[in-house]
Structure 1
Amino acid sequence: MSYKLSVTTSTTNISQNSIAISPDEITNLPDLTGRLLKDHVLISKMDEGGFGAVYLAKKYEKGKINVNPNFNFSTIPENELNKYCVVKAESNFTEGGCGLKMEVKILKKIGKLFNKSEQFAQIFMANRRSKYSYVFMTLLGQSLKHLLRIVPNEKFTDSTWLRVAIQTLYAVKQLHEAGFIHRDLKPANFVLGHNNDSMRCRFIHLIDFGLSRQYIFEDQNGNIRYRKPRKRVDFRGTERYCSMSMHYDKEQKRVDDVWSLLFTLTEMRSELPWSNVENEQLEEVKKTYKSTCIIKLLPNELENSIENLNLITNEKFDQRPNYEQIYKSLVDCMQNKKYSFDDKYDWEKEVNKNSPSMTKYIDMYHLFAKDHLANMKNPSSDSNQLNDLK
């Protein structure tokens, strides 16, 4: 199941399998299966956690409320997809407030900046009731975590891997340009479009913003500023994939998301040096490595890009990652190996002939190089305007 709850991780993550507070300590979300919200019926629960749930919703037809807990959403034909969507619901009594507020804020901002980006789900509607809040979103497909399980050796071939790397890097860059850092990048948080959605099935979407943090804000004079980094932060994310700085309680920057993405991508192609380490020893073992330890596990074309990324890791909070250099390295590798962006992915039996061509990704250097935040001001000491943010 690719859909998961950002709300289940909207508090501090102690490890991959634990959260900071028990669901018993809060008011739980009621089961909404069979409920009619607006003009949709919640026909099945796709996932749930202590704070909320994800439902498959279908447009209501008069006199028909067909609840089906075992419904396989991947079987929905393309001509029926417009009747379905996903509904995320979360209790209003979670510690720190409703995490869906951040998700809606991010997706709306991205939609405004990038005009329905192919790398993100769309928000159709959001609403709040007395006990819970909910949001209607695009029905997507399987996660990269799931797809890795069904390909030979649970690793992607270089042809697929390079294209996955370019799409995921572009998604992360767009999130950063919207003013947010994800802080929990991993295979489960990258999702393909629905397998029968010809317009989205070959695009990779970034999801789950429960741990995201806004790193820019608008001051009282209307100027956009960087948020002042804190001296020490609690752990956020997943130990297996988080950047090294997270293990030293440092504020996460854009470059930390890029390192987290590179660790994620490394595991899709090879093995991380700490892949087989138990959770209890994971932090201690990771601290014995440098981030650049992954260079030998990735294509040679990426060596300079990773070394340059390492050079800016300890620079100022507002230091911009070298997205365009990493992108160019990935494209150079594709061209050197004569791969095509329209080749079949490892998990595809055949390419959907109605899907748009993916060749645009070979000529996007200008988009990776463009800096929407070029005129930003330095970190501000004014934190009063950020009290409503996580």
Structure 2
Amino acid sequence: MMSSDEADDVLPREDEMLKTKKDKYKVIALLGKGGYGAVYSVLRMSDSEKFAIKCEKATAAKKVLLMDCNVMKGATQIKSRHFCTVLDRANVKDRFNFVVMKLIGKNLWDLRQDRPDGRFTLGTALKTAAQCLVSIEHLHSFGYLHRDIKPGNFAAGRKESNEHHTIFMLDFGLCREFVKRAEGKDMRAPRSTAPFRGTTRYAPLSAMLQQDQSRKDDIESWLYMVVEWTSGGLPWRKLKAHDREKVLQYKQDVRTKADILDDFFYNCPKKEFTRILKYVDSLGYYAVPDYKFIYYCVQHAATANKIKDTDPIDWDPDRPYYGPVEAPGDGKVIDLEVEGGASTKDFSKRHAKEKDTSEETKKAKKKTAPSTGASPNKEKTEIKDVKK
């Protein structure tokens, strides 16, 4: 059995050159590592542009890169600006598979930690909340649940690319398709019990109770995340991942005890956030959330507190905000041709098949041609332990 140190030896090394059919990439630095593999910054040799590569060990029991590719295919289809694009992909035989993506900046956990008081100003809190909500609606429109919404899974773009006012959604390893594409657009029926997925601090009640999650649950996690960066902390912030029952009790008490609710919404626009919480709690498993209503509540909080669309954000205080100001859609699921699925065995085998097909195409063309011729949080994600 391979030791952890030996297993890490299969991942890219600094200054290693990675080749794909399109280009060559030089590994610059490790950005983060977890059970799935690692993320590195790389230099594209053809034009000296910097990108990120996400690697997955060839021996990984759970393949996550295929899910990343499917999600980002949906983002490309609707031209969402909140997702990175897979620009290239390949594998290094018997070592790892990788995808090449846009390089982005700090995640929202780290950006909040940079603040002297440990929280965003209200204007920044609401602007980032709106962008994250839009990205969640976009993800749902592809037919996927995220199931691990937290500040470490959202990041601002890079200043060098003039995208540091735009928020990107990250990490789709715990995503689950909630529609049955092969049989139409119907929701999957909920299982009688479901294993816990997510991060205890932000997990919705359904996950805590080991029930199947649906679209409303991503919104519930979004609200916990937004409250945290608005207030500076959640009432259960000192509890650890193994204190799941105590965290669950806190989340239930928020719904029933006025003093816990007041603590929960400390420094927050209580009226609007309470409306969102009550609305989300009213939704059933099959419900399509009214994303526009939730967005309206966020915008109303901004208006009530005299916050303008152009007010600067905390990590760029000297310039007016120029990030996207956009309302979410209705969550209607789009047609999307997904790759692989449960029957897909190996990213590298599929890549090899693509290569074989390409060679066959070349041969066919030759025969017929004329002769001239893509924060971590302090708390880890359970089940899938990811550190960025």
- TM-score of the aligned structures, taking structure 2 as reference length: 0.76
2:170 maps to 207
Q: Distance in 2 between matches of 1:161 and 1:261?
A: 12
1:42 maps to 27
For residue 257 of structure 1, give the secondary structure of its aligned residue in structure 2: helix
Where do 1:1-390 residues align within 5 Å? 24=4, 28=8, 30-33=10-13, 34-38=16-20, 39-60=24-45, 83-96=49-62, 98-112=63-77, 114-115=78-79, 117-131=80-94, 132-198=96-162, 200-219=163-182, 223-270=184-231, 271-290=233-252, 292=255, 294=261, 296-297=265-266, 298-299=268-269, 300-312=271-283, 315=284, 317-351=285-319, 357-358=322-323, 360-361=325-326, 364=327, 367-368=328-329, 370-373=330-333
Q: Distance in 2 between matches of 1:258 and 1:217?
A: 21
CA RMSD across the alignment: 2.7
CA 1:284 to 1:26, structure 2 compared with 1: closer, same or farther past 3 Å? farther
Larger mean Cα displacement after TM superposition, 137-146 or 338-347: 338-347
For residue 287 of structure 1, give the secondary structure of its aligned residue in structure 2: helix
C-alpha contact (below 8 Å) 2:142/2:334 kept by paired residues: no
For residue 108 of structure 1, give the secondary structure of its aligned residue in structure 2: helix
Unpaired segments ≥5 residues, structure 2: 336-340, 346-383
CA positional deviation for 1:118: 1.5
- Structure 1's consecutive aligned runs of 4 or more residues displaced over 6 angstroms after TM superposition are none
Q: Distance in 1 between matches of 2:118 and 2:229?
A: 8
C-alpha contact (below 8 Å) 2:72/2:84 kept by paired residues: yes
CA positional deviation for 1:301: 2.3
CA 1:359 to 1:101, structure 2 compared with 1: closer, same or farther past 3 Å? closer
C-alpha contact (below 8 Å) 1:232/1:250 kept by paired residues: yes
- TM-score of the aligned structures, taking structure 1 as reference length: 0.76
Aligned partner of 2:175: which letter?
Answer: S
CA positional deviation for 1:55: 1.4
C-alpha contact (below 8 Å) 2:141/2:334 kept by paired residues: no
CA 1:103 to 1:301, structure 2 compared with 1: closer, same or farther past 3 Å? same
Aligned partner of 2:136: which letter?
Answer: V
Larger radius of gyration: 2
CA positional deviation for 1:56: 1.0
CA 1:280 to 1:53, structure 2 compared with 1: closer, same or farther past 3 Å? closer
C-alpha contact (below 8 Å) 1:40/1:58 kept by paired residues: yes
CA 1:94 to 1:25, structure 2 compared with 1: closer, same or farther past 3 Å? farther
CA 1:225 to 1:31, structure 2 compared with 1: closer, same or farther past 3 Å? same
For residue 43 of structure 1, give the secondary structure of its aligned residue in structure 2: strand
CA positional deviation for 1:279: 3.5
C-alpha contact (below 8 Å) 1:29/1:52 kept by paired residues: no
Higher relative contact order (CA 8 A, sep 6+): 2
Unpaired segments ≥5 residues, structure 1: 1-21, 62-79, 376-384
Q: Distance in 2 between matches of 1:32 and 1:342?
A: 42
CA 1:94 to 1:305, structure 2 compared with 1: closer, same or farther past 3 Å? same
Aligned partner of 2:17: which letter?
Answer: R
Aligned partner of 2:281: which letter?
Answer: N
CA positional deviation for 1:275: 1.2
CA positional deviation for 1:346: 1.4
Q: Distance in 1 between matches of 2:225 and 2:9?
A: 32
CA positional deviation for 1:228: 2.5
CA positional deviation for 1:93: 1.3
CA 1:58 to 1:144, structure 2 compared with 1: closer, same or farther past 3 Å? same
CA positional deviation for 1:334: 1.2
CA positional deviation for 1:27: 5.0
Q: Distance in 2 between matches of 1:265 and 1:359?
A: 18
